[in-house]
Each structure stands twice: as structure tokens, then as C-alpha cells.
Amino acid sequence: MATITSVQAETAGSEASGEHSNHLNHLITEGSNEASLGFDTRSALEIARIINHEDSKIAAAVKRSLPEIALVIDMVARSLRDGGRLIYVGAGSSGRIAALDASECPLAFSTPPQSVQYIMAGGPKALASAVEVNEDSPELGHRDMARRRPTRKDVVIGLSSSGRTPYVVAAVEYARARGAKTAAVTCNHGAALSEAAEITIVAQVGPEVISGSTRMKAATAQKMVLNMITTGAMTRLGYVYDNLMVNLHMQNTKLVERGIGILMRACGIDRETAVRSIKSASLNVPAALVMLKAGVDKPEAMRRLAKSGNNVRQAIEDTVLEL
């Protein structure tokens, strides 16, 4: 465990070398929120109202970065299409948000686990236990990213509410030096992470209700952004048909029922026909959908899906379009 003295010494060394010119007390995410002054004297309902009012600002903050988000969506889609990976890197709340998004992609879109990954300061144990001292080490960020061997096929996205986390900045710098495409998700303008990455998404949500508690508005904004990136990329790849999650992995009863419902809705068929179609497609919803929509058998449906890179709409139309 780092002592106060060791942390002060490391901070002083970093400042002397010019690594962290953005001191925390100058960051918007660390500022005092006038709306929550006297917060500890408020009733439970007043506390809830203040938090809810501040939360209502998050979507507008994210909206201002939609052009940059769109660029990252297409960047990730191209990478995954070409056999690359999306690798998130974060610390603390940002790292936990990244881990959540990465872990949900295989279930929602049937992507291989290695396609969307996360790197967390402190390792997997940091998901449940506070080991935030690791975020102060650029050496650890460099080391952990090096272990993933990023290449020009990959996209690396660094997440940091402050935009100055040494671990994350160093990891993104390393990945970019190895040719990977890079992006940053932060809640402050002009941060070191922005300089390290090619594209920066800034969701400037303002001071937190509890000063510096970036697990609140900042973390929510980051989750919104990551949801947009992976959902957008998977949709661009054709893993969504209309607004239906057709590429889901049916590994439990709920998801089997969802797959049946998707076929019923997309094809206008009854439940019995949907069940029969899914069985004939070996529980492969995209194949069943192509079979029904294009009027082809399973081998032809699988051929079309392979040709289109599992883009369901293109497989139905038997075309291949470039992103």
C-alpha cells in the first residue's frame, strides 16, 4: 500500500517533469457544485431531487460529442470487420464501466470474447476492490498494454473522467506508437489523454453533486458513450436487423424466447413457425432469419452470412457493402 509520503513524492516528481500540468483542483469534474451546497443537511427526497436534476444534464453533455462518437463507431466497426480488436483501458469507475461494456458484447452480439476486451488498472481484482493506487503508474499502463500486443488492426479507447490518469495515458500512448487507432473518453477538455489519442470524446457534465465523486455523472456519461460505440459498431456490422438484436447468443431460456420473438416480429410468422425455423437453423437466429426472408435453405443461408461477414441484411439481399 502506498503511503502519503510516497504518493506525495511521486506526485512531486511527476509535476517536476511536467507530466501532469492539469492539477485536480483546476478540473471541472473536481469543482464544487452550487446546486448541492448544504447537501448533508437535506432530506432524503431533496437529495434524490438534486441528484436527479444533475443527472438530467448528462444526455445533453454527451450529445455535444456525437460527431466524435460517430467517428469512433465506424473506426471500431472497420477494425472488428478486419479481424482487429476493441481494447478499453481505464482505472477506477472508468475501468469498471469499460469491463461491463466489454463483458456484455458476446452475449448481445455473439462476438468472440477476444474481440472486445478491457484492461483495468490493478487487474480483475480491482473490479470489486479499491486498488486505485495503480492508476498513478504510467509504467504499469505501458506494461499491461504491451501484454495485449496492439497492432494497426486494433482500436484502443482510454477512459478517464479527469483525462489525466497516468496509467491510462501511458497505455494509450503505447498502443498508438504500435499503430493502433486510439480514442479517449473523458469529461474535461484539454486533458493529457486527449493529446495521447487521435479522437477525443468529451462529455463535460460539470461538477458532481459530491465534489470529485466521478462515479456519478461522469461514470454515467461514459457508460452512455460506450453503449453508443459498441451498439453502433455492431449495428454497422449488420449484427442488428431493423432494431432487433438478431445476433444474440441463445444460451438460456430467456434468450431462446427472445430469439423466437425476433423471428415472429421480423417475419410476421406465428410462434410454431418461428420455433420450427430456429430448430432447422440449429438455434442460429441470423441463419433462420435469412432462410425465412430469402427463401433459402440452411447451407445457402450460412454461405450468404459468411460472404457478408455475418451482416444479416446483406445476407438476405445477397450483397456486400463497404463500411
Among 282, 286, 239, 260, smallest CA distance to 109 is for 239
**Residue 311, domain member (yes or no):** yes
Determine the pLDDT at residue 16: 35
Per-residue model confidence (pLDDT) at position 214: 84
Could you say which of 206, 236, 266 is where a domain stops? Answer: 236
pLDDT band at 249 (very low <50, low <70, confident <90, very high): confident
Angle at 290 between CA 322 and CA 107, to 5 degrees: 80
Q: What is the pLDDT of residue 213?
A: 80
Q: What is the pLDDT of residue 17?
A: 35
Q: Residue 12 falls within a domain, yes or no?
A: no
Hey, which residues are catalytic here?
Answer: 104, 135
Pair 93, 32 in one domain: yes
| Domain match, 170 and 111 both | yes
Q: Could you tell me the CATH number of the domain that includes residue 281?
A: 1.10.8.1080
Q: Residue 299: what pLDDT?
A: 95
Q: What is the mean pLDDT of residues 211-222?
A: 89
pLDDT tens digits, 282-315: 999 999 999 999 999 999 999 999 999 999 999 9
Is 3 within a domain? no
What would the mean pLDDT of 223-246 be, rounded to a whole number? 95
> Are 200 and 264 contained in the same domain?
no
What value does the mean pLDDT of the chain take?
88
Residues 309 and 189 in one domain: no
| 68/107 same-domain check | yes
Choice among 4-8, 259-263, 266-270 with the minimum mean pLDDT: 4-8
Whether residue 185 sits in one domain with residue 102? yes
2 is a domain residue: no
The answer on 204 and 267 residing in a single domain is: no
Tens digit of pLDDT for each residue in 131-189? Answer: 656 788 999 999 999 999 999 999 999 999 999 999 999 999 999 999 999 999 999 99
Are residues 185 and 308 both part of a single domain?
no
Examine the domain organization and report whether 113 and 85 are in the same domain: yes
**Per-residue confidence (pLDDT) for residue 254, from 0 to 100:** 87
> Which range, of 60-74, 187-201, 239-253, averages the lowest pLDDT?
239-253
**Is residue 190 domain-shared with residue 274, that is, in the same domain?**
no
Q: Are 294 and 232 contained in the same domain? A: no
Residue 68 has pLDDT above 80, yes or no: yes
Number of separate domains in the chain: 2
Q: Find the radius of gyration of the CA atoms of the chain.
A: 22
Instruction: Dump pLDDT digits (tens) for 13-64.
Output: 443 333 444 466 677 677 677 677 778 889 999 999 999 999 999 999 999 9
Which residues neighbour 204 within 8 Å (Cβ) at sequence distance 6 or greater?
Answer: 28, 61, 64, 187, 188, 189
* Set of cell numbers at residue 322: 463497404
Q: What is the pLDDT of residues 84-139, one digit of tens each?
A: 999 999 999 999 999 999 999 998 898 999 999 999 999 888 888 766 567 889 99
Q: Which residues of 219-258 are buried (b: 16+ CB within 10 A; e: fewer)?
A: bbbbbbbbebbbbbbbbbbbbbbeebbbbbebeeeebbee
pLDDT at 321: 58
Average pLDDT over residues 65-69: 98
Residues 53 and 89 in one domain: yes
Give a yes or no: residue 224 inside a domain.
yes
Note the pTM of the prediction, 2 decimals.
Answer: 0.86
**pLDDT (0 to 100) of residue 232:** 97
In a domain, 212, yes or no: yes
Better-scored residue on pLDDT, 4 or 320: 320
Is 33 a domain residue?
Answer: yes
d(CA 82, CA 309) in angstroms, rounded, equals 10
Establish if 322 belongs to a structural domain: no
Count of residues for the chain?
323
Give me the mean pLDDT over the 201-206 stretch: 94
Q: Which domain holds residue 298?
A: 253-317
